[in-house]
Amino acid sequence: MIRLGLHLTVHSGRTALVRLAVTTASVGFGVALLLSVLAIFHGYSTTAGRACWTCTRMVESAEPPPLSTTPAADAELWNHTQDFYQGRTIERLDVAALGPQAPVVPGLSRLPQAGEYAVSPALAALIATAPRAELGDRFPGAQIGLIGAAGLAGPDDLTIVIGRSVSDLATVPYTIRVTAIQTTPQNRGDNVIYQLGIALGAVAILLPMLMLIGNATRLAAARREERYAAMRLVGATPRQVSVIASVDAVVGALLGSLLGIGLFLLWRPLVAGIRITGARYFPEYVTPTAAGYLSVLVGVPAAAAVAALLALRRVQVSPLGVSQRVTPPPPRAWRLAPLAAGLLLFIVPLATSNQDDPRVRLAALGLALTMAGLVIGGSWLTMQAARLLTWLRPGASALLAARRMADDPRATFRSVSGLVLAVFVGTFLAAVVPAALAAQRPPAGSALDDMLRLQVAGKGATAPDSAGSADSTGSREAELAKLIAGLRSVGATAVLTIRETPPTGAGREDGPPPVVLACADLGRFSALGRCAPGASTAMVDDGPLITDNVALLNRALPLVSPASPGFTGDPSTLPVKLLLVTVDGHAGIERLRTFLTVNYPGLIGGSGTAPQTYAEVAQVRAELYTEVANVMLLVVGLTLLVAGCGLAIAMGGGIVDRRRPFSLLRVSGTPTGVLRRVVLLESVLPLLTATAVAVAAGLVVAMPVNRLVGRAGGTALHLPDHTYYLTMGTGLVVSLAIILATLPLLDRVTTAENARFE
């Protein structure tokens, strides 16, 4: 039977060879895309699973100076901070060995000594090209080498390890003593946005892939069913027919898998350059594992064999039924139940909880159920559209198309189901991500964009921040004036001093004490508000100023109003908590950061980070949304591409399967234009119907997500921008072009010669 199956597959004429070639090409393209997804996932998982040496004893657990500098064979002083340059994060480690066996940072053969530093290749190139006053002067010493891949997340990483003397590093804020470097990965999987993004991406890619392979293996299925039914009628057993059908499907799928592996190896360098999380992965990580290759070589042919066997159900039960072409039962309304259940399971947990509530994890299941519900309920919607077509558009073409769609709505919808998923994913993405990003953009524009936030008071601060006698107050104010003068010398245009009131001085026991600022200094900080006429000081809550969620600051502005109370005492006796600094231009910001790094290492924007502008704070928080947007854009692009190929195969196969009735209609006098309109209506109507439902479902699903992650205020519905309409419109136009491209096949298979031989 296997030999007979191979013979029928290869030696059944030109039609069989064409079908085998189309099946091989289609499966090969789908396998190549599947391997690309597996390669990107392997690059992401390998990078995410690497040892997070920068997480060693996070700065929140740092010991206050002075530290113990007692020599020890396996100990070292460790000071990890994050610096910034033009919106890019620089991982900086200052280290001093306390003994010969001090732990070595991954990617290095030894620790740099005092006056030396090792740097990542990307940062080395950046230091060589950037002005020294803006970047290079921050790093003392001479370069001794490069950090290897074991210590980096990717080729674009900006990382530096600086050797320092023990006595020098012991006095630097946030220095700790360590005896071991962390080897466990950084945990980012608990973030609800990543959970939703991964779940959406996995389902959105997998279903169209399976549909493409299924459509390819079912090409000319009706003709093959007739052949297998004839075999049954002349005495072939069900097992023999199953073996022949399986061989037919497996040959095309196996050849397609081999072709797909070759295509993937050909475009693998392009895949390695894709930036999913904002940076490239090392090229050697962007590859499927051996298990990935093996699963493709085994799984795809196995899936094709299963699809072929499922397609033989009518032949196995009753071979006469194939010749009689019994109409399958119509789909029922219960097919909409999974869609409704998925929407409820997704919306209710997100609408009644917050990001920290474990109930939001149910939303991933609801999302998958919603997408499956669109596919399951599509055939019922197609049947209703067919009934509506006969009422809205009378005529021969509409009657033939409606009868075909109503007879087998499952097969009609199957050809457009992949595009429906792409529309749903694209709508969801276009409604959620712009809203989340917009929430992080300061409404006051440049008034907040170039404003640096410097934390003065707190653990490790080196600026004077302690209250006390008049002498200490005078010394503190002198140091503050020196600091402000230094800031102005490197480009600061205005400085706003924010002082902290004592916990018992404000009469507040339900929260942190308010801060005091001078009304006269609000000129360049108008976005923060205005004092009452004649007021010299104002007391406000500084919580929005020190948060990393700029959306909260946007909603809290203005902080100062004419109703803000004034401070009755002498503000100069209060310790300084924050400094807000405005700088003109990106170069001035970098020079100011260099000045602070060299002269005031304790003046930081937060624990272990260099000072940032509010625009940079918003950018860091928005990077998460941007990463998810990149993943989703890749998903939408792949889904549209795969679904378009599946649509072409399904339409071509449908025309070939109906060669006999179309040819008979032609010779009986039916114009070719009528048959063309039949094919167009059968394709366009279910596509538009399901697309409208997918758009509505995408907008409904986006509303609770906008409330959860956007926090932009106002309505939870964020309409997509022009990019969405351009992308989806282009996808639909391409789909229509694919449908039109199949029409010449209709002319060829419905000639009089074909009708004669039928």
Q: What is the pLDDT of residues 302-327, one digit of tens each?
A: 877 776 666 655 555 555 555 455 56
- Per cent of the chain over pLDDT 70 is 70
Last residue of a domain, one of 325, 345, 364: 325
- Signed CA dihedral, 450, 456, 458, 461: sign only: positive
pLDDT, greater one: 603 or 339: 339
Q: Is 627 part of any domain?
A: no
Question: Are residues 570 and 477 part of one domain?
Answer: yes
Same domain, 672 and 718: yes
Residues 640 and 713 in one domain: yes
pLDDT at 34: 78
Q: Is residue 204 a part of any domain in this protein?
A: no
Tell me what pLDDT residue 618 has: 74
Higher pLDDT, 417 or 82: 82
Query: Comparing C-alpha atoms, which of 480, 454, 499 is closest to residue 610?
Result: 454
Asked whether residue 298 carries a pLDDT value surpassing 70, the answer given is yes
In a domain? residue 365: yes
| Residue 287 pLDDT > 70 | yes
Q: Judge whether residue 209 has pLDDT over 70.
A: no
CA 687, CA 640: separation in Å to the nearest integer?
A: 13
Domain boundary among 307, 325, 343: 325
Pick 650 or 518 by higher pLDDT: 518
Residue 369 has pLDDT above 60, yes or no: yes
Indicate whether 8 belongs to any domain.
yes
Q: Looking at the structure, do residues 466 and 598 belong to the same domain, yes or no?
A: yes
- Average pLDDT rounded to a whole number, residues 211-229: 63
> CB neighbours (10 Å) of residue 352?
11
Q: Are residues 374 and 402 in the same domain?
A: yes
What pLDDT digit, counting tens, does each position of 102-144 carry?
A: 999 999 999 999 999 999 999 999 999 999 999 999 998 899 9
**Are 314 and 381 in the same domain?**
no
Of the listed ranges 367-381, 477-491, 631-645, the least confidently predicted one is 631-645
CA-angle at 91, arms to 81 and 156, nearest 5°: 165
- State mean pLDDT over 393-400: 77
* Predicted local confidence at residue 608, as pLDDT: 65
Query: Of the candidates 39, 84, 79, 89, which has an alpha carbon nearest to the alpha carbon of residue 178?
Result: 79
Weakest-pLDDT range from 112-121, 433-442, 453-462, 469-478 = 453-462
Encode pLDDT of 490-514 as tens digits.
888 888 888 888 765 444 445 567 8
- Beta strands 88-97 and 159-163 are parallel
For residue 742, is it within any domain?
A: yes
Whether residue 462 has pLDDT greater than 50 = no
- Across the range 545-570, mean pLDDT stands at 79
In a domain, 211, yes or no: no
The pLDDT-based confidence of 468 (bands split at 50, 70, 90) is very low
CA distance 601 to 596: 6
300 and 387 in a single domain? The answer is no
Query: Are residues 60 and 24 part of one domain?
Result: no
Who has greater pLDDT, 662 or 210?
662
Predicted pLDDT of residue 189: 47
For the cut 50, the answer to whether the pLDDT of residue 630 exceeds it is yes
Average pLDDT over residues 721-731: 71
Per-residue pLDDT tens over the stretch 10-24: 666 666 677 777 778
Position 129 scores a pLDDT of 93
What residue spans of 218-331 are helical by DSSP H? 221-233, 238-272, 290-311, 313-317, 319-324
d(CA 591, CA 135): 8
The confidence band for 427, taking pLDDT boundaries of 50, 70 and 90, is confident
| Domain assignment of residue 535, yes or no | yes
Phi, psi of 640 (to 5 degrees): -60, -40
Alpha helices in 393-469 (DSSP H): 396-407, 409-414, 417-438, 446-449
Q: How confident is the model at residue 408 (pLDDT cuts 50, 70, 90)?
A: confident
297 and 340: one domain?
A: no
Q: How many residues does the chain have?
A: 758
Residue 344 tokens, joined: 């409820």
pLDDT digits (tens, 9 = 90+) for 737-751: 877 777 777 777 676
> Quick one: which H or E segment has residue 79?
strand 76-85
Q: In terms of domains, do 308 and 334 share one?
A: no
Between 203 and 653, residue with greater pLDDT: 653
Burial class (CB in 10 A: 0-12, 13-18, 19+), 362: middle
For residue 401, the model assigns a pLDDT of 78
The residue with greater pLDDT, 463 or 388, is: 388
Closest to 495 in 3D by CA, of 394, 596, 567, 563: 596
- Expressed as residue numbers, the domain containing 261 is 1-49+235-325
Q: Are residues 504 and 587 in the same domain?
A: yes
Lowest-pLDDT choice from 157-171, 193-207, 222-236, 466-480:
193-207
| Model confidence band, residue 706 (pLDDT cutoffs 50, 70, 90) | confident
Q: Is 273 exposed, middle or buried (0-12, 13-18, 19+ CB in 10 A)?
A: exposed
Distance CA 262, CA 513 (A): 66
- What order of strands is seen across the sheet that includes strand 142-146? 142-146, 116-119, 159-163, 88-97, 76-85, 176-178
Number of domains in the chain: 4
Confidence (pTM):
0.68
Q: 148-157, 357-366, 391-400, 466-475 — which is least confidently predicted?
A: 466-475
Query: What is the per-residue pLDDT for 325?
Result: 53
Does residue 222 sit within a domain? no
Query: What is the rounded distance in angstroms from the CA atom of residue 300 to the CA atom of residue 314?
Result: 24
pLDDT, mean of residues 393-410: 78
619: its two tokens: 């950018």
DSSP single-letter state for residue 276: S
96-100, 373-377, 474-478, 530-534: the lowest-pLDDT one: 474-478
Residue 163 has pLDDT above 90, yes or no: yes
Please identify, among 325, 354, 372, the residue that sits at the C-terminal boundary of a domain: 325
| Average pLDDT of every residue of the chain | 75
Same domain flag for 640 and 755: yes
